[in-house]
């Protein structure tokens, strides 16, 4: 279940765009999704504990458990929606069609890898002293971020992991899209604030901040692309003013 949010914070998620769906049996797609979730969780755990030099890193254990449980509604929804599932699974630099998005996604991947290495090193060398109540706050933000992701994908049937426009696509302006133009990225922002705290590392706020900058770069480019290629999107932008955070940006 780590696969879902990692796709977001690698800046490989898009709010309104759906790539051409690859045809293969739904059973295989579901199995692939579950394997990716388990493999992603295992890989993150390996990175965290190797960097920490020990498995006695309680913040990491709590983070992995909280993240996995919080991702269940999102993953179950994808498993019940074949088109959306296949669209979300096609992600990453190779899947992107435009060079600028390939570059943004690659930089996002690098920053998120660093964001999982730093907290382990922080725990090993004792750089930060995050109090337990703040760790719990971080875990609550993880839950909030994942529930926001679930809400967004339920609202938007065109929510894919690459930037593009397909036939019969329409502008989604209801639910969270009536508040900000990029609610999926807003979900990632909440998650990226919570993750360093949940892992007990103030220093991880640095790569998280860099990832947020990548998200902003991505969403601005995506909005420009949609304004040129998706009918009605320019009018939508005049109605919904905020890109990411209401009253701020």
In whole angstroms, give the CA distance from residue 183 to residue 173: 11
Q: Which of 10, 3, 2, 6 is nearest to 212 (CA)?
A: 10
How crowded is residue 145: how many other Cβ atoms within 10 Å of its Cβ? 25
pLDDT of residue 177: 93
Give the CA-trace dihedral at 79, 82, 83, 88, to 10 degrees.
30
CA 184/CA 186 separation, integer angstroms: 5
User: Could you tell me if residue 201 is left (phi over 0), alpha (psi between -120 and 50 degrees) or otherwise beta?
Assistant: beta
The Cα 81–Cα 30 span in angstroms is 10
Can you give the pLDDT of all 249 residues of the chain as single tens digits? 444 455 444 433 444 444 444 444 556 767 777 888 888 899 999 999 999 999 999 999 999 999 999 999 988 888 888 777 776 666 656 666 778 878 888 888 899 999 999 999 999 999 999 999 999 999 999 999 999 999 998 888 766 555 555 566 788 888 999 999 999 999 999 999 999 999 999 999 999 999 999 999 999 998 998 888 888 999 999 999 999 999 999
Q: Which residue's structure tokens are 């190797």? A: 50
42: Cβ contacts below 8 Å, ≥ 6 apart: none
Q: How far apart are CA 24 and CA 159, in angstroms?
A: 19
């Amino acid at each position: 279940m780590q696969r879902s949010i990692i796709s977001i914070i690698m800046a490989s998620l898009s709010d309104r765009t759906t790539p051409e769906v690859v045809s293969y049996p739904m059973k295989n797609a579901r199995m692939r999704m579950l394997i990716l979730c388990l493999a992603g969780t295992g890989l993150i755990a390996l990175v965290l504990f190797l960097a920490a030099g020990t498995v006695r890193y309680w913040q990491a254990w709590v983070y992995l458990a909280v993240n996995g449980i919080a991702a269940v509604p999102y993953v179950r929804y994808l498993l019940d929606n074949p088109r959306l599932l296949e669209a979300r699974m096609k992600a990453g630099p190779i899947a992107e069609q435009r060079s600028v998005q390939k570059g943004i996604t690659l930089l996002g991947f690098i920053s998120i890898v660093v964001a999982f290495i730093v907290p382990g090193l922080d725990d090993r060398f004792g750089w930060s002293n995050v109090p337990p109540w703040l760790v719990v706050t971080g875990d609550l933000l993880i839950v909030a971020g994942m529930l926001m992701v679930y809400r967004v994908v339920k609202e938007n049937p065109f929510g894919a992991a690459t930037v593009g426009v397909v036939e019969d696509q329409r502008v989604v302006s209801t639910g969270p899209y009536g508040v900000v133009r990029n609610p999926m990225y807003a979900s990632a922002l909440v998650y990226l604030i919570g993750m360093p705290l949940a892992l007990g590392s103030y220093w991880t706020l640095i790569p998280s901040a860099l990832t947020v900058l990548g998200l902003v770069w991505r969403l601005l480019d995506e909005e420009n692309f949609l304004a040129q290629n998706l009918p009605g999107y320019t009018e939508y932008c005049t109605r919904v003013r905020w890109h990411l955070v209401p009253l701020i940006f």
